[in-house]
Structure 1
């Protein structure tokens, strides 16, 4: 009996060892097939543009195709949940955004736990929102715009990328901190909001997709939402210069499903960080007003944790709800 038990234990140990070797080999060989990078916003927006720019560099670095799949809806929640539920093998990734942090506070029923359901891989860029009015607008700066909002409550309209997005939050915070009553108009992404602005349907926007339109004078920039002026548009004052304490810097970054092997996450993070150091990538990012970052999974995790703590305290009193 003792011999049978010993033999059985040996068989189990041998099988476990084979399994461990096979798993390690699979992780070392990753990737061996096409990788899907999910952009949870409509085509043409920054999540889409960043996904396609990064996908090309990752494909070259990793030796496998990286295809971009747009899954817009619910402020990025639909695409994010899709990735969170995918197999944790490194072949389905998410181009996440600062809106993933905000989504934690805008649903009565929790649909996704950013700390538990997704594995941070690497921050891609930091990018402020750019406040802009129509090119023929009478408003020359943010101070003028807020004066108009005080004189005519609810007549001034802010086009946003959707309920609970960073642009929506900026407009809500303007109401709260500047003592005005701006009407927020949600669109299905930043590009539709910019189109509405150019068509004269709304008064202003606060979109992180706006800089190219400002640069070619299709719309008129009046402020940037970062705490300091952006090196990519130094002529635009920060919002904090007019409304002290009001600042926001958005970001985009890559996530994998929770449970993705550390070796795969680390390999992917290294490839992303290398891509962000490319002069060609930096030049492409400047065109959309983004600053390349890169970095480790641990650094990205810390950024997310800090943002969850900071913005939870600020947005909960605003009572913004998507459901």
Structure 2
């Protein structure tokens, strides 16, 4: 065989190998435990992706250290398209909360596409004298630090949403950390706290006993009809829960293109859209380039907030 013929054969073999992706099951890593909201997103989207790609997408839960264990595992994986990760807002928060991570959050991932986004809710007990966000702000300004609020643990998305609101509305409340949304909701009803910041699913079980004041996204949402946005009172305020799909740095453009196309189709699936709605989320499709911009912007935003507030997770 001539050198030319051999080169053509190798090129053809390489093209065939690329075209064959995926040839085996794909791992979808999430930094949260099974049964939670992020796990639900991963399983719904993963199952639908598997049908589109013709290979199973198997969810692997690697919780711990603010999703950094899962992120490190993904960053160190071979960039062959067989290890992906469901990114969340927590992945944009954790790099500023932890020292000496074994990966570089801004450069060690290939962004494929956004998956979903959704608001957090601000609520009070139905027996509360606070009937609007304006009431809450006025009370917090009048008696700085007197109002206790729950928003999960330190450095969680609800906690940071509360910190941003306090800074932008020039008010002060006291954070009482809780392990999760259901525990926080119970504290709200029990009177240990006066305000809760949480996701729609976390606040839903006690909805009949709570009053919603606002959603944290810039506009009202059909997910929670009739509830005003914070931005209607505090101009420019916008905090959302965001989910995206990523792989290790160095994913081939062919794999990214195939994945992005399949993901876009999955997000049009009525079953997937309905499931996301039950989790308080709406489908959110963006191109790989726009997804990278969103992720990098979130990294920078939360790094600034965390620095301003002096938060650390590993001290």
TM-score, length basis structure 2: 0.86
Distance 1:197 1:30, change over 3 A: farther
Pick from 195, 208, 211 the counterpart of residue 199 of structure 2.
Answer: 208
1:127 matched residue in structure 2: 118
* Structure 1 position 239, deviation (Å): 1.1
2:201 and 2:278 in contact (8 A); partners too: no
| Cα-Cα RMSD | 3.0
Deviates more, 1:240-249 or 1:212-221: 212-221
How far apart are the structure 1 equivalents of 2:226 and 2:312? 35
How far apart are the structure 1 equivalents of 2:186 and 2:74? 30
Distance 1:189 1:60, change over 3 A: farther
How far apart are the structure 2 equivalents of 1:194 and 1:258? 39
1:38 and 1:70 in contact (8 A); partners too: yes
How far apart are the structure 2 equivalents of 1:78 and 1:188? 19
2:202 paired with 1:238: no
1:214 and 1:220 in contact (8 A); partners too: no
2:295 paired with 1:304: yes
Deviates more, 1:61-70 or 1:181-190: 181-190
**Counterpart of 1:94 in 2: which secondary structure?**
strand
Distance 1:224 1:92, change over 3 A: same
Distance 1:72 1:189, change over 3 A: farther
How far apart are the structure 2 equivalents of 1:18 and 1:155? 75
Pick from 279, 294, 310 the counterpart of residue 270 of structure 2.
Answer: 279
Distance 1:215 1:186, change over 3 A: closer
1:6 matched residue in structure 2: none
How far apart are the structure 2 equivalents of 1:236 and 1:115? 35
2:27 and 2:60 in contact (8 A); partners too: yes
1:27 and 1:261 in contact (8 A); partners too: no
Distance 1:314 1:81, change over 3 A: same
TM-score, length basis structure 1: 0.84
2:257 matched residue in structure 1: 266
- Name stretches of at least 5 consecutive residues in structure 1 with no aligned partner: 1-9
* Structure 1 position 173, deviation (Å): 1.8
Pick from 51, 71, 81 the counterpart of residue 90 of structure 1.
Answer: 81
**Counterpart of 1:90 in 2: which secondary structure?**
coil
1:123 and 1:300 in contact (8 A); partners too: yes
1:45 and 1:190 in contact (8 A); partners too: no
Pick from 44, 50, 56 the counterpart of residue 53 of structure 1.
Answer: 44
Deviations 1:184-224 (A, max 9, x none): 23344545544554555433332234477179535432111
2:149 paired with 1:165: no
How far apart are the structure 2 equivalents of 1:198 and 1:35? 43
- Name stretches of at least 5 consecutive residues in structure 2 with no aligned partner: none
**Counterpart of 2:311 in 1: which secondary structure?**
coil
